[in-house]
Amino acid sequence: MNPKQEIGWKYIERIRDLLYCIFLFFMPFTQALTFNVGFPLKFSELALFALSFLYIFFNKRVVMPKPLFFVLSLLFIVVTTSLLINLFWNYPYQLREYQTRFSYTGDSIARYVYFILALLSFFVSLDIFLQNRRRYIKVWIWGALVAAGYSFYLSSFSFLGLHVILLPGMTDVQVAPILGRNIIRCGTFLEGNMMGLYLVLSAILCFYIKWFKAGVFLLLSVFTTISTLSIVAVFLFIVIYFKQSLFKRKYVAIALPALVILALGIYLFSQTEVYEKYVYKKIFANTSKISDPMAFSKADRVFNIEDAYRMGWGNPVWGVGLSNYARHYDRYSNTAGYEPGFIKEMLRAGSKVIPNNIYLELWSESGGTTLILFLALFCILLYYSRQDATNTLFAALLCMLLCFVAYPSFIMIYLWAFMALPVADHILRITNIQSNKS
């Protein structure tokens, strides 16, 4: 920035701080509190738009390690090229037709805009955490606590059969039948898997700044989402976080009873209907005859995975284009070995389907190079997080990689905002080391 821009940047410090807080606090409210301006824009996204304009207007540069900048630049170039190629490519077979929001081309472009927003979320969040890491993490956590409290309210009231009040902008909500009751499981998000991973990451932020009580509450709130992989991620984080201190002599008196209680709790949970339906059957259900709803769920996911895998092999370089998975779904589907009644349900004629797996979403829609770059990005983040003194960020990234197996989209803003934290932690740690040496 030139001197005038630096003065202007400093002058709007309070405005920027307000926008930072709105961006972080309202991130969980993706299905609520929306402004419908052509399509729903959330408070968090509007704040991000405003912040992005300010960063560009004042030519504010964000400090970033060169390897990370290189990978993100390549990712942007490859995704952009994939979009442009597929906007004008003619395929020699009939593409699926379904109702769209903006048209097929418009939906692809809108998806690309959200990809740009995700990148902007990363850059802005990195600068936020470099400015005042602890303050803005607290703002994130307070937003998560509000969302988690509301999620508890929705799940408990719906379980009791009581009327629930939906926030402005909420339309359809996901429900799960448990013990004869329909429990709302998505919280403030569109689906349970989105809410589950958000709560896991928010809980880990609590442990990162040593807000342990809030962290425990958020970990418990993950169970309201009934998201299988998110619940598994909770236990994965606990194991990784406590692995170094669990068997130290001074903690043995606490650790051993805690392990016994945890083992007993897991055993009791494994005897419940919830475990049978949403964990065991989702993983081990026999799909040769689809007579059980959870077996259907597993077979449906396997079918989509196989479809996306074949789609990627058919278009390995540039994929089929952002938001175009459903258009090519029929071409790469293989119904051999499935019951006739089930085939009709899986094909979902005339509807837009998604891979529901980030790795296969990238592989099928943007090609193998995009998938490799995305994984390279996470390798860099994992490397940076290994030096984290709190022993939380590495575990958080592993939880993300696990949950991506059944996650609807790689462009969720909160994912990219969190991914900026290991980078900021790394930069600040290196800066402190260099300052101490000098």
* Segment 5-30 mean pLDDT: 91
pLDDT band at 289 (very low <50, low <70, confident <90, very high): low
Q: What confidence category does residue 284 fall into, taking pLDDT thresholds of 50, 70 and 90?
A: low
Asked if the model's pLDDT at residue 288 lies above 60, the reply is: no
Determine the Cα angle at 204 with ends 198 and 205, to 5°. Answer: 90
Cross-strand pairs, 293:
none
Strand spans (E) along 39-94: 39-42
The average pLDDT across 83-94 equals 91
Domain spans of the chain, in order of start: 3-139+297-437
Q: What is the pLDDT of residues 168-222, one digit of tens each?
A: 888 778 777 776 678 888 888 888 899 999 999 999 999 999 999 999 999 999 9
- pLDDT at residue 397, as a whole number: 96
Bin 4: left if φ > 0, else alpha if -120 < ψ < 50, else beta.
Answer: alpha
Q: How many CA atoms lie within 13 A of 6 on its CB side?
A: 3
pTM > 0.85: yes or no: yes
How far CA 315 is from CA of 95, 245, 273, 318, 361, in Å, comes to: 15, 48, 42, 6, 13
pLDDT at 24 over 90: yes
More confident residue, 269 or 50: 50
Q: Give the separation between CA 214 and CA 205, rounded to whole angstroms.
A: 10
* Sign of the torsion formed by the C-alpha atoms of 370, 384, 424 and 64: negative
Helices (H) and strands (E) in the chain, counts: 18, 4
The answer on pLDDT for 333 being more than 90 is: no
Alpha-helical regions (H) of 315-357: 329-332, 340-347
Poorest-confidence range of 39-43, 89-93, 406-410?
39-43
For residue 44, name the pLDDT band (cuts at 50, 70, 90).
very high
Quick one: average pLDDT of 10-34?
Answer: 91
Locate 85 and state its tokens: 């190629």
